[in-house]
Amino acid sequence: MDITKAWEDLQTVQDRDEFVAAWLTVQCSMIRGCIQGVLVLMDGVTGTYMPVASWPEKGSFERLTDILNRTLSEKEGMLVRLNPSDATPDDDDRGYALAYPIVVDERLVGAVAVEVTASSEAFPRRAMEALQWGAVWLENLSRREQGIEDRGTLKRLKAAVDILAVVLAEGSFQEAATAFVTEVATRLSCDRVSFGLVKGSSVRVKAISHTAIVGKKMNLVRSIGAVMEEAVMQRTEIVYPPPPDAEPAVVRDHERMIQIHGDRSMLTLPLYAHDRYYAALTLERQDDRPFTKDEQSYIKSVAALTGPALENKFQNDRPIVFVILAALKRQAEKIFGAGYVGRKVAILAAVLLIVFFSLARQDYRLTADAVLEGSVTRSIVVPIDGYIQESLVKAGHTIPKDAVMCRMDGRDLELERQNWLSRKRQYERQYQEAVAKHNRAEASIISAQLDQAEAQIALVDKKRSQIVIRAPFTGIVIRGDLSQRLGGAVAKGEEIFQMAPLDAYRLILKVDEQRITDVGEGQKGVLVLSSMAGHPFGFTVRKITPITTAAEGRNYFRVEADLEQASPRLRPGMEGVGKIDVDRRRIISIWTRDLIDWLRLRLWSWLP
């Protein structure tokens, strides 16, 4: 290529191949001693680096292959001395290979390599600088092409968003579909645009541009449906007349459509989403303007964004019964159709679990909070009025029978006894004097007073024996502490202690009112106490008290049970959990008992 023409092409040509050929010609011509050069650029489709220009056009570039590969891999400029056998045969000149990467926005798009002869070491460096400055032309070319592509993408995206806004503004599917095809027909200058939805193996036309009502039996509608089915069945867009570089496809229905209705150009685009083809779009023109690549990309962008919105509107406009049936059908296809192995395994496992729990049985045991009480609770009361002198036990102490629990102050009783003894002696002297004087009347009165004094002395002695309070049986003190009341007054009949035996207990279970019908006298159970979790105790239900108590927002029945065996470690007041063995039931009925009872109660309250 002539250098002058190359400079002109750099300024005027738009074709990419012509531009890079002119650039390489200018670049190699400006480097003194340049023997040959080659330019490789990335192919946008395959992503590989391909030679796009060479200078001279017919030459062998094997000597530059190695330096090009190294430059592309390391993304740095290279300068190497060629072997004498590879360079020019002139002994006065030395051969060099130079390569420089073409980087745009930190992305390697290609590389240029040249072979030069030089008589000095400084010349190859100047040649490398020339390559570096010349690479700016290619960087500008790449940015210009990227800008053109970005503007096209932005234009398609803006159109898709604008049309999507028009579709979403409509209330129903039919209005939205009609607005969509009309908008597309207007923007692409089409005579007719049709939109159809796939149902089974056929396509039903739902909207035609500039047409409010679509008749199912119209010849035109049937022809458009056949065209759409042809594209959907082949799963590819069809352009008719087909361009020279188009892949082979069956276009019989498209050809018949054009023959019958007089169109010149057609484009049918099947829409794909969610692993299926759900719709098709057909565009028609009656003039000789075939659909270009840019228009095809344009309508693909619009359909990819707007198609799912139209399908959603169609699904939402259907009656709820059809929506449910369609959902069930989709799930059935996933369950019984091909694929979805994980879902099939999960459903099979769930079915097996349901069958197992529906047939398997286990012991049904009713759980309830439990507390241990003594079978007999004895209250220790004050026998006489008086004051506490000494307290020897308090709650928690275990004491034997007749052990002293506390003593009362007996000084007042001692004084009272001495007083009555003194009166008795006085009455005895008076009685002897009256007998000596043979005064029978006075002797009789004094005798009565003497009997009264003796009775009072006997009463005081009785009280004195009661000031020491003893344990009525061997047991544990479960209530009472007089250590803070020493010297204090107590009244007759006042409770100061409570005792329970150590060898006789009763178990109190709090059974929820929803489960009380499952409990019966004589049922067995197991008790585990909080303080003795490793030592279970068996028990037998003895009595169900027909009285409820409220606690934590629920009602509980008091159920009494007898322990089958006692332990010296047991103490009244211990709490735990008791489980009553009711019967054997299916596992699923045990687990769903609460839910079923709740549903029955709610249905009973809701139904008239």
CATH number at 110 reads 3.30.450.40
Residue 506 belongs to what H/E stretch? Answer: strand 505-512
Distances in whole angstroms, Cα of residue 330 to Cα of each of 314, 317, 322, 346, 394 = 16, 18, 12, 17, 76
Q: Which of 270, 275, 406, 264 is nearest to 330 (CA)?
A: 275
Q: Which residues of the chain fall short of a pLDDT of 70?
A: 1-2, 6, 9-11, 13, 45, 59-60, 83-94, 119-122, 150, 212-213, 215-217
The verdict on 185 and 115 lying in the same domain is: no
Q: Which residues pair with 525 in a beta bridge?
A: 539, 580
Write down the pLDDT at residue 585.
86
Per-residue model confidence (pLDDT) at position 398: 86
DSSP letter at 567 equals -
The reply to whether 32 and 137 lie within a common domain is yes
Examine residue 76 and state whether it is found in any structural domain, yes or no.
yes
Distances (CA, A) of 408 to 386, 443, 481: 7, 39, 14
At 310 the three-state DSSP class reads helix
Residue 103 near residue 86 (C-beta atoms within 8 A): no
The whole domain housing 81 covers 3-149
Query: Does 239 share its domain with 144?
Result: no
Spatial contact of 283 and 290, defined as CB atoms under 8 Å apart? no
Do residue 262 and residue 306 come from a single domain? yes
Please tell me the predicted confidence (pLDDT) of residue 119.
Answer: 63
Contacts of 532 by beta carbon, 8 Å cutoff, 6+ apart:
567, 569, 574, 576
Considering the domain architecture, whether residues 229 and 137 belong to the same structural domain is answered as no
Order of strands, edge to edge, in the sheet holding 489-490?
A: 468-470, 404-408, 386-391, 489-490
Nearest Cα residue to 426 out of 459, 449, 444, 456: 449
Q: Which two tokens stand for residue 271?
A: 């829409």
User: What percentage of the chain reaches a pLDDT higher than 90?
Assistant: 7
Question: Helix, strand or coil for residue 193?
Answer: strand
The last residue of a domain, from among 115, 149, 183: 149
Of the candidates 493, 496, 499, the one whose C-alpha atom is nearest the C-alpha of residue 471 is 499
Domains of the chain: total: 3
In a domain, 369, yes or no: no
- pLDDT at residue 416, rounded to an integer: 86
Tell me, yes or no, whether 541 and 580 share the same domain. yes
- Return the closest-CA partner of residue 57 out of 15, 25, 88: 25
Q: Which CATH number fits the domain that encloses residue 577? A: 2.40.30.170
Under 8 Å CB-to-CB from 558, ≥6 apart: which residues? Answer: 508, 509, 510, 545, 547, 549
Judge contact between 205 and 224, C-beta under 8 A.
Answer: yes
Residue 10: per-residue pLDDT: 66
Query: What pLDDT does residue 9 have?
Result: 65
Class of residue 364 by CB neighbours under 10 A (exposed 0-12, middle 13-18, buried 19+):
middle
Same domain, 137 and 196: no
CA-only gyration radius of the chain, Å: 55
Integer Cα distance of 237 and 300 in angstroms: 10
Is position 567 within any domain?
yes
Domain boundary among 261, 286, 317: 317
SS3 176: helix
Helix (H), strand (E) at residue 101: strand 94-104
Residue 496 lies in a domain: no
Q: CB–CB of 252/243 below 8 Å? A: no
Domain termination residue (choose one: 295, 317, 339): 317
Give buried/exposed letters for 215-236 (b at 16+ CB in 10 A, else e).
Answer: eeeeebbebbbbbbbbbbeeee
In one-letter notation, the amino acid at residue 54 is S
Q: Is 354 part of a structural domain of the chain? A: no
Q: Is 135 within the bounds of a domain?
A: yes
Q: Does one domain contain both 191 and 297?
A: yes
Q: Check: CB of residue 408 under 8 Å from CB of residue 387.
A: yes
56 preceded by cis ω (within 30°)?
Answer: yes
pTM for this model (two decimals): 0.45
pLDDT at residue 215 in the model = 65
Q: Which two tokens stand for residue 326?
A: 């369609």
Half-sphere exposure for 606 (CA within 13 Å, toward CB): 6
Question: In this structure, are residues 463 and 492 in contact, taking their beta carbons and an 8 Å threshold?
Answer: no
Residue 255 lies in a domain: yes
Cα(131)–Cα(578) distance, rounded to whole angstroms? 92
Contact yes or no for 367/494 (Cβ under 8 A): no
pLDDT of residue 548: 83
Cis amide linkage into residue 383, ω under 30° from 0: no
Q: Tell which residue, 130, 101, 126, has the closest CA to residue 113.
A: 101
Answer yes or no: is 99 within a domain: yes
Are residues 222 and 266 part of one domain?
Answer: yes
- 3-state DSSP percent of the chain in helix, strand and coil, to 5: 45, 30, 25
Please give the Cα distance from 46 to 28 (Å, whole number): 28
- Do residue 305 and residue 180 come from a single domain? yes
What pLDDT is stored for residue 89 in this prediction?
46
| Same domain flag for 77 and 176 | no
Residues 297 and 156: beta-carbon distance below 8 Å: yes
Contact status, residue 93 vs residue 119, Cβ threshold 8 Å: yes
Asked whether 61 and 50 are in contact (CB, 8 A), the reply is no
Q: Which residues contact 455 (CB under 8 A, 6 or more apart)?
A: none
| Phi, psi angle pair for 530, to nearest 5° | -60, -35
Q: How far apart are CA 495 and CA 480, in angstroms?
A: 8
Residues 226 and 305 reside in one and the same domain:
yes
